[in-house]
Amino acid sequence: MSLRWYSVVVDCHDIAAQARWWAETLDYRIVYEDDDEVAIIARGVSEDPISDPDAFAAGGPGLVFVPVPEGKAVKNRLHIDLAPHTSQDRDAEIAALIARGATSVEVGQSDQQGVSWTVLADPEGNEFCVLSTRDR
């Protein structure tokens, strides 16, 4: 038996703004919100109890945003990789993310040859990557 990857918790200052930014980025929806936590999940994931263990395990992870008083000080030890489908214009997707508040980030990737990803940061500085297009 294995466990389901249920969520990733993101520390931030403005949990509502961060949750909405990521929900728009991933086409997720907000399923819970109060002053101490905002949770988002993929549109196809059910909020209802799931009795079948295989169906439960097939659900993708959500993101949970919680407030912290301190600012981000160093590069993330964990980050999210996003991948556009081969039918999408990767450069246009990156431009749209930047237009919505993402920034380009250098974490050493330019020192490597043949880099096929772009490192960005969300509006609060959390790094993530946009990979090359793919269909699986």
For the chain, how many structural domains are there in total?
Answer: 2
Residues 11 and 60 grouped into a single domain: yes
Closest residue by Cα to residue 68 from 127, 5, 9: 9
Residues 45 and 88 grouped into a single domain: no
Residues 63 and 85 grouped into a single domain: no
CATH code for the domain of 26: 3.30.720.120
Q: What is the pLDDT of residues 79-95, one digit of tens each?
A: 999 999 999 999 999 99
Q: Quick one: pLDDT at residue 1?
A: 56
Q: Quick one: pLDDT at residue 76?
A: 83
Q: What is the pTM of this model?
A: 0.90
Residues 26 and 57 grouped into a single domain: yes
Residues 11 and 58 grouped into a single domain: yes
Tell me the torsion sign for CA atoms 110, 113, 114, 116: negative
Determine, yes or no, domain membership for 73.
Answer: no
Determine, yes or no, domain membership for 2.
Answer: no
Contact 29, 47 (CB under 8 A): no
The residue out of 35, 67, 99 marking a domain boundary is 67
The residue out of 36, 67, 98 marking a domain boundary is 67
Tell me the torsion sign for CA atoms 98, 37, 11, 68: positive
Determine, yes or no, domain membership for 11.
Answer: yes
Residues 13 and 63 grouped into a single domain: yes
DSSP 30-97: EEEEETTEEEEEETTS-SS----HHHHHHSPPEEEEEE-SSPP-S--SS-EEE--BTTS-HHHHHHHH
- Structural domain boundaries, residue 16: 7-67
Q: What is the pLDDT of residues 33-67, one digit of tens each?
A: 999 999 999 998 888 898 988 888 888 899 999 99
Determine, yes or no, domain membership for 56.
Answer: yes
Residues 13 and 55 grouped into a single domain: yes
> What are 98's two structure tokens?
């930047």
Q: Quick one: pLDDT at residue 128?
A: 96
Ramachandran region, residue 95 (left: φ > 0; alpha: ψ -120 to 50; beta: rest): alpha
Determine, yes or no, domain membership for 75.
Answer: no
Q: What is the pLDDT of residues 1-33, one digit of tens each?
A: 578 899 999 999 999 999 999 999 999 999 999
**Is the pLDDT reported for residue 115 higher than 70?**
yes
